[in-house]
């Protein structure tokens, strides 16, 4: 699933076995209470729009679950993203990104990664 517009609300979806959810160059979207499970790419990704290199700004990810995705569980490359109460586990890297975070509260990245230091923690037993 991909969001290209502004101020959408994505609530209570299960994304399984596909490409996950990407917020692409869009502002002010709310993504909450969703599950991304065993997708081929990131579970949730706030990303930069490729064509115009424009970051997504002011998006909210709240109380989402990312499990067993082949890339990052939750990746933030946006500006002023609010990340609260998200859980990410058993992904290639649980939490990653090089964007700015307005709030990073209550998130669980089971592999010890963070949104500012992606991929620096070795996964034990994988």
DSSP assignment of 52-92, as one string?
TTBPPBS-EEES-EEES-SSEEEEE-SBSEEEES-EEESSS
Domain contains 79? yes
In a domain? residue 45:
yes
- If one counts every other C-beta atom within 10 angstroms of the C-beta of residue 107, the result is 20
pTM of the model: 0.88
Q: What is the pLDDT of residues 49-108, one digit of tens each?
A: 766 777 889 999 999 999 999 999 999 999 999 999 999 999 999 999 988 999 889 999
Residue 82 domain flag:
yes
Provide the residue range defining the domain that includes 98. 2-109
Number of domains in the chain: 1
Q: Say if 123 falls within a structural domain.
A: no
Q: Please check whether residue 115 lies inside any domain of the structure.
A: no
Residue 52 lies in a domain: yes
Confidence category of residue 39, pLDDT binned at 50, 70, 90: very high
């Amino acid at each position: 699933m991909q969001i290209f517009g502004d101020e959408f609300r994505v609530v209570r979806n299960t994304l399984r076995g596909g490409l996950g959810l990407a917020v692409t160059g869009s502002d002010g979207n709310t993504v909450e209470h969703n599950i991304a499970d065993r997708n081929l790419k990131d579970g949730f990704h706030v990303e930069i729009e490729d064509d115009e290199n424009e970051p997504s700004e002011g998006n909210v990810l709240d109380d989402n679950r990312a499990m067993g995705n082949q890339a990052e569980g939750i990746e933030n490359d946006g500006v002023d993203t609010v990340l609260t109460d998200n859980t990410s586990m058993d992904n290639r890297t649980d939490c990653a990104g090089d964007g700015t975070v307005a709030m990073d509260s209550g998130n669980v990245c089971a592999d010890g990664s963070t949104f500012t230091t992606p991929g620096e923690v070795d996964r034990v037993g994988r």
